[in-house]
Amino acid sequence: MPLVHDGDARAFEVVFDRHADAAFSLAYRMCGRRAMAQDVVQDAFLSLWRSGAAYDRTRGSVRSWVLGVVRNRAIDLFRRETVRTGRDISAEGVVERMPAAEDVALDAERLQDARDVRSALCVLPSEQRQVIELAYFGGFSHMQIAEMLDLPPGTVKGRMRLGLSKLRVALGDPSGAML
Amino acid sequence: MTGRDRTADRHECGGDVAAYALGALDAAEAEAFRRHLQTCTVCQEELASFQEIVDELPLAAPRHRAPASVRRKVMREVAADARRRGRPAPRPGLARRARLVPRPVLALGAALLIAIGVFAAVQSGSSGGTRVLNAQVVGPGSVQLRIAHGHGSLVLRHFAPPPAGKIYEVWVQRGKRAPSSTGALFGVTSTGRGDVAVPGSLRGVSTVMVTPEPAGGSAQPTHAPVITVPLT
């Protein structure tokens, strides 16, 4: 990343090749439309290229940084679309935005990580999984989720906290069991 | 009592941590929570642990290959920017050219690669143009060095954190010369995970190694390596 910071396009190409599939997968999962996901990924990587200085390695991996920018770009796009066309913000609408998987090769370690995360999400109580997915992949605020599910905002926050605590235990940090 | 203390008192401790980690607080709430965080170590710790989980959530998304058209558009703009700044441009059409190689040549190349792959499988593997080498580690956990286009990254799983007051530093060694620091300093998450880019090209590098060093790093290694990856 120091080379990307210095404007080295070859170093940036390595970063792109390493993270583009994960970035597109996240964008497609959030947008549900291939063309929109392409726009999000393109905007996100160009933004990363032009602001390489914003990466702070003490605050996480390059992958987390890239995917964070992708997610923010997707949410920005949702907000613009909501203003223009009135986005469907029902929980069902979000679920419909989930595309089917392609056969994309992952190395064995990443494949196992992906399986672990999916199975940990699957065993969560549905009401906890729902608020986590609506917030993370749907880009909805807790107030929007409370409105669409007809729940008090405090209940939504509580379900998010319980859900993340259970995921933490399931994914290997036993300190989560203390909560 | 200061204004900051009063803010912290008004805040329901812990109630917003998960929503904040998921990016689900509105701007005003997020700002209030950030102020609360400055004085609440309990929320700081809980947020750090939740953030690790949130960082893993993208793995739950079905996997898709990024379209080649996105790569073309992005790298075209990057190359134009780089030329304007007088910086090295990406190698034009590298991925494209690979697909234009005649089939018989591809078949011969594939056979050769399979032979090399079988030979190298004991210590390494490859995926999508990435070479993966298993590191020799001291203590628990596993570490891989993944190399693509001459650049590497270390992927750590279940690896022990550095001793108190220390940080891990990444070194490269060329031939019999003394190891030189890459400037990369890192720790691991509470679950022993780490994903660290090795700065610079690995061309000519014979060994990548990691040592625990005092916070801030060292000019020369002061401890024996805990991770060693021979490249030759």
DSSP structural state of residue B128: T
User: Does residue A1 surpass a pLDDT of 60?
Assistant: no
> Which helix (H) or strand (E) covers residue B68, if one does?
helix B68-85
> Does residue B204 contact residue B178 with C-beta atoms inside 8 Å?
no
Residues 46-75 of A with CB under 8 A from B: 46, 49-50, 57, 60-64, 67, 71, 75
Neighbours of A108 (CB within 10 A): 11
pLDDT value of residue A10: 80
Task: Look at residue B197 in the predicted model and tell me its pLDDT.
Answer: 78
- Three-state DSSP class for residue B113: helix
Q: Give the C-alpha separation, B53 to B42, whole Å.
A: 17
A104 pLDDT higher than 60: no
Percent of chain B scoring above 90 in pLDDT: 21
Give the predicted TM-score (pTM) of the model. 0.59
Residues 14-73 of B with CB under 8 A from A: 14-19, 21-26, 49-67, 69-71, 73
Residues of B in contact with A29 (CB under 8 A): 58, 61-62
Q: Which of A127-136, B125-134, B172-181 has the lowest average pLDDT? A: B125-134
| A3 contacts A11 by C-beta, under 8 angstroms | yes
Among chain B residues, CA nearest to A20: B66
Q: A155 and chain B: CB distance < 8 Å anywhere?
A: no
Report which secondary-structure segment, H or E, holds B156.
Answer: strand B151-157
What mean pLDDT, rounded, does chain B reach?
76
Q: Over the stretch B140-166, which tens digit does the pLDDT of each residue have?
A: 888 888 887 778 888 888 888 888 777
pLDDT digit string (tens) for B50-101?
998 999 999 999 888 899 999 999 999 988 887 877 666 555 544 433 333 3
Selected residue with higher pLDDT from B12 and B93: B12
Q: Do A14 and B64 touch (CB under 8 A)?
A: no
Query: Which residues in chain B (94-123) have CB-CB distances under 8 A to chain A?
Result: none
Chain-chain contact of B70 with A46 (C-beta, under 8 angstroms): no
Say how far apart CA A113 and CA A100 lie, in whole Å: 19
Q: Which of A4, A6, A18 to mutate to test the interface with B (most CBs of B within 10 A)?
A: A18
How high is the ipTM of this complex? 0.80
Residue A108, pLDDT score: 64
Residues of B in contact with A101 (CB under 8 A): 62-64
Task: Check residue B158 and report its DSSP letter.
Answer: S
Per-residue pLDDT at B232: 73
**Top-confidence residue, B136 or B130:** B136
Give the pLDDT confidence of A3-47 residue by residue, as tens digits: 555 567 787 888 898 899 999 999 999 988 899 999 999 999 999
Retrieve residue B209's tokens: 């190694």
Give the other-Cβ count within 10 Å of A43's Cβ.
Answer: 18
Please give the full DSSP string across B29-47, using - where no structure is assigned. Answer: HHHHHHHHHTT-HHHHHHH
Question: Chains A, B: CB contacts under 8 A, how many?
Answer: 213
Cβ of A67 within 8 Å of Cβ of B58? The answer is: yes
Long-range contacts of A166-171 (CB under 8 A, 24+ apart): A166/A120, A166/A124, A166/A128, A167/A120, A167/A121, A167/A124, A167/A132, A167/B53, A168/B49, A168/B50, A168/B52, A168/B53, A170/A116, A170/A119, A170/A120, A170/A123, A171/A116, A171/A117, A171/A120, A171/B53, A171/B56, A171/B191
3-class DSSP string for chain A: CHHHHCCCHHHHHHHHHHHHHHHHHHHHHHHCCHHHHHHHHHHHHHHHHHCHHHCCHHHCCHHHHHHHHHHHHHHHHHHHHHHHHCCCCCHHHHHHCCCCCCCCCCCHHHHHHHHHHHHHHHCCCHHHHHHHHHHHCCCCCHHHHHHHHCCCHHHHHHHHHHHHHHHHHHCCCHHHHHC
Distance CA A43, CA B110 (A): 36
Which residues in chain A touch residue B184, judged by CB atoms under 8 angstroms apart?
57
What is the reported pLDDT for B160?
84
Give the B window 142-181 contacts with A, CB below 8 Å: 144, 146, 148-149, 151, 153, 155, 157
Burial of B96 (0-12, 13-18, 19+ CB in 10 A): exposed
- What is the average per-residue pLDDT within A75-96? 57
Q: Which of B26, B74, B157 sits opposite A42 (nearest CB)?
A: B74
Which residues does chain B have within 8 Å of residue A11's beta carbon, measured at their own beta carbons?
151
Q: Rg of chain A over CA atoms, in angstroms?
A: 17
